[in-house]
Structures are given as C-alpha cells and as structure tokens.
Chains A and B, each alone.
Chain A
Amino acid sequence: MTTDVLIRVKDLEKHFGKEIHALNGVSAEIRKGEVVVIIGPSGSGKSTFLRCLNLLEMPSAGTITFEGVDITDPKVNINQHRQKMGMVFQHFNLFPNMTVLKNMTCAPVTLRKKTKEAAEATAKQLLERVGLLDRAGAYPNQLSGGQKQRIAIVRALCMEPDVMLFDEPTSALDPEMVGEVLDVMKQLAREGMTMVVVTHEMGFAREVGDRVIFMDGGRIIEQGTPEQVFEHPQNARLKEFLGKIL
C-alpha cells in the first residue's frame, strides 16, 4: 500500500513564537482516494496541521512528502505543488472583484496556460455539477454563503488537484446552508477525490470518512475508521470530546 501514499507527514512541528506549540510531532499518511476527517477541540492544532500540508504555514520542524517530493525542502518550488493541492477555506475567500467565472478561470489560464475558452468550458461543467451555472456572471457579494462555498470548491477543482484540503468548510455557514456544501463534498468523495477535511460535522465524518483522526494538544491522539473512533473510542480525551458534542 505504500506506493499509494499521496502525502506523508513526519514529525511535524509548528511553533508560533516561543510560547505556543501548535503541533508537537505529528506523523500521518494520506493515501490516494482516501477521505480523512480530522476532528478535535478548538486549539488542538487541526487547522494548523491542514495549513501546513500546502505550506500556508511553514512548519518549524519535520517533513511533508507530497507525491514523492519533500515539499519542506527550501529548494522545492512550492507554487508548482500547490497547484495540485486544492484548498477550501472557512471564510470562502472568493475574489470579490471578479465574477464567479473569472474566480474559477483566473488561475488555470495564468498558471496552466489554458486558453480562456477551454478554462471557461471546464468551469461551466463544474458549475453545472454544483447547480450554479446560472450564477456564472454574478459577483461573490451577490451569492449566499452556501453558494460562495460551493463556488470556492469548484474554483479549487478547476486546477484539477490531486488532493483537496478543507479547512472547516461549513463553520461560517448558516445551518440551512450546511447541507448543500456537504452534498458537494460527498459527491466529490464518491468520485474518488483524495480529501483531508477539518470539520465539526460528525455526521459527515461518520458517513463519508474512510479514516477519522482525533487531535488534541498538537498531537494525533487516536485514529481509525469512523466506526472505531465514534463507537469504540479508546482514549479518555476522545471519549470526553465525543460526549460533549454527540
């Protein structure tokens, strides 16, 4: 199975200043086609871990190997590898000065040297899949939160990434809009996309996750299938955490 490993994280540490140690030696593997859901209390380092995967946070120590390349190596051009790692943010981060279509085609046209027509055709296909084709010409402030997040997902997909990183994608949404975003993510998982998802949506973790990782204090405390983690938790802190939220 080792050939199938897409991302290998080894002894990852992240310190902010001298006081705060967000990650204290995290090692993990993300396999191709796997949906890994990371849960844990706030401040447990799960977002920091995710943001380290594409070096939005520069790790203080440890290595991250993505598709066989150690991307923490200073000689590596991280921009090239980021093109293969789509990311979805809690606050969408759509570009407010561009239409939906421009949001989606800007990077492929500039970085992938795609023609405008080809990029727009891909973008429109993706928009149709998430039911937002009619909003192609709209600006982000004309969209609801759920629509914005669905656009953010397909914007990342336009770069044809090998893995998608989700950083609490539903945490900033009104409750009635969570479902539409989760549906898109479920569809993506069914199509075989490798996904790393930081979320508080335990239903999603249970239903879609191949593996659930529980983090606390900057460490991976426990991991396993959703069934193992949710039905038969071993660690006391995980039990306490689940007791509070379920």
Chain B
Amino acid sequence: MPAWLEDIRYQFNLNFVERNRWRFITTGLGNTLLITLFSLMLGVLIGVVIAGVRSTYDKTADTARPTFGRKVLGFFNGFCKVYITVLRGTPVVVQLMIICLVIFAWSDNGVALASLAFGLNSGAYVAEIIRGGIMSIDNGQFEAGRSLGFNYLQTMWHVVLPQVIKNVLPSLMNEFIALLKETSVAGYAAVRDLTYGGNTIAGQTYSYFMPLIAVALIYLALVMSLTWVVGRVERRLRSNDH
C-alpha cells in the first residue's frame, strides 16, 4: 500500500472509527436537521402572522375608517416593522448568543434554544417574502373579491392566498436552504450541531482536514438534494400555470 493511501486510512481511523468519533457527526447532523426543521416551522408561523398584519394594514390604508380596531392594527403593524428591522439588522450569531447565553442562560436545551433563535430570525425574512407575495397580487383581484361580497379575510383566503402560495413557494424553499447552512453557527452557543461535531473531533485528534471535509460534504449533499427538490417544485408550478 502506498504511503499516501496508508496516511488516509490512518486519518480516517483516527477521526471517525477510533473511540466511535463518528457519533459526533451523526448526533450533530441529527441536531442540525432538528434545528432547521423547528426553526423553519416557527419562522413560517411568525412570517405568516407578520405578513398578514403588515399587508392588511397597507392594503386597507385608504378604505378603512379610523376605528379602534384600526388603531390596534396600526400598533401591531408598528411592532412588526420594528421586529423585522431589528431581526434583519443584527447578525444571527449575536441573536443566537443573546438568546442562549443571556435570556435563557439557565437552560441547557441547546437544540430548542437554537431553534427558537433561528426561527425568530427566519420569521423576519419569511414575513418579507410572503408580504412581497401578497403585494405582488394585482389589486384588481382584491377588488373583484370584495365586489362579489367577500369580506377582507374571505377574499384573502379564497382568492389571494392560493395565488400567493404558488408565487412564494420557491423563495420559501430557498430560505429553507439558507437556514440549513445558517444553523452551522449554532456552535457559538455550544449547541452540538453538525459543524460543532466536526470541530469536536478535530479538537480531539488535532487533525482538521477529514472532519471538516466530511462536514462540508454532508452540507453539500443536503443542499444539493434540497435544490433538486426546489427545481422539481418550480417546474411543476410552472407546468400547471394557469
């Protein structure tokens, strides 16, 4: 066996097989997937609510009467604006550390805290994606719905949202992909995600090449499969584009 091949074998053994170090990778991968999934769900939830408030406020600006309900909506609209500005205007790592190391310093449930941090952050981006989707629908669609007698929510539900979902699905899935990679900074708050796992191995073996390449390849494989799915979805949406 040539010396370089022998070296690779040795490195592989040292980093993954010896003392079951591969487990750092699998546990980390599991956590990364969990964090991504939970933060995606939280992000979509927050995003839909914020987009709903923001676009309702904007859409009804010239028709609504200055009632108490309008003032309440105005207050929430202002709150959502501040939320989006703050969450998009500060680095996600800083937000993560504030949540894990300041606000919830007493908790050691890293996966839950990281999900919360990335979910809150992602919500701000998802909100703008969905709001953009709603505002891109021709106002004539709203007017047609309202003129038939639908109220605002019914018009949204029956007429506008089905069109919005179709328009924003590709962007949402791209946000999902970005989120997956973003979670790699979870280690800053000692959350044991995939990157943290690779780093832990490297810290034990003093050998960075193999663990980090393995981590990178796993991210790449995940992103490539998701990209493939996005492509399929986009093509399907286009093919029954009526």
Q: Mark A residues whose CB is within 8 Å of B.
A: 54-58, 74, 79-80, 82-83, 85-87, 89, 91, 93-97, 106-107, 110-111, 139-142, 152, 155-156, 159
Q: A95-B159, A96-B163 in contact; A85/B242 too (CB < 8 A)?
A: no
Q: Does B72 contact A (CB under 8 A)?
A: no
Q: How far is the CA of A227 from the CA of B139 in the complex (A)?
A: 38
Chain B interfacial residues counted at CB < 8 A: 24
Contact with A along B153-176 (1 / 0, CB 8 A): 010001100110010000000000
Can you sample 24 A-B contacts with CB below 8 Å?
A54-B147, A56-B143, A56-B147, A58-B64, A74-B65, A74-B67, A82-B146, A82-B147, A82-B149, A83-B148, A86-B147, A89-B140, A89-B147, A91-B138, A91-B140, A93-B138, A93-B144, A95-B144, A97-B162, A97-B166, A106-B158, A139-B242, A140-B242, A152-B144
Find chain A residues with CB under 8 A from B141 CB: 93, 95
Contact partner of A111 (CB less than 8 A), chosen from B63, B143, B150, B163, is B150
What residues of A have a CB within 8 angstroms of the CB of B158 in the complex? 106, 110
Residues of B within 8 A of A95 (CB): 141, 144-145, 159, 163
Using a CB–CB cutoff of 8 Å, the interface residues on chain B facing chain A are 62-65, 67, 138, 140-141, 143-151, 154, 158-159, 162-163, 166, 242
Please, which residues of chain A bring their CB within 8 A of the CB of B162?
97
B163 near A93 with CB under 8 A, answer no
From A85, A97, A110, A141, contact of B147 by CB (8 A): A85
Q: List B contacts of A106 (CB < 8 A).
A: 148, 158-159
Name A109's closest neighbour in chain B (CB-CB).
B158
Closest-by-CB residue of A relative to B165 is A97
| B150 pairs with A110, CB closer than 8 A | yes
With a cutoff of 8 Å between Cβ atoms, the chain B residues found around residue A141 in the complex are 242
Q: Is the CB of B149 within 8 A of A93?
A: no
* Max chain B C-beta neighbours (<10 A), residue from A55, A96, A140, A159: A96
B237 CB, min distance to chain A CBs, angstroms: 11
With A110-B154, A110-B158 known to touch, is A142 a contact of B242 (CB < 8 Å)? yes
Which one of A80, A111, A139 lies within 8 Å of B148 (CB-CB)? A111
Lowest 8 A-B CB distances belong to which pairs? A83-B149, A139-B242, A93-B144, A87-B147, A93-B140, A107-B148, A82-B149, A79-B151
Given known contacts A95-B144, A110-B158, A139-B242, A80 and B149 CB-to-CB distance under 8 angstroms: yes
Known contacts A97-B162, A106-B158; A89/B146 CB under 8 A: no
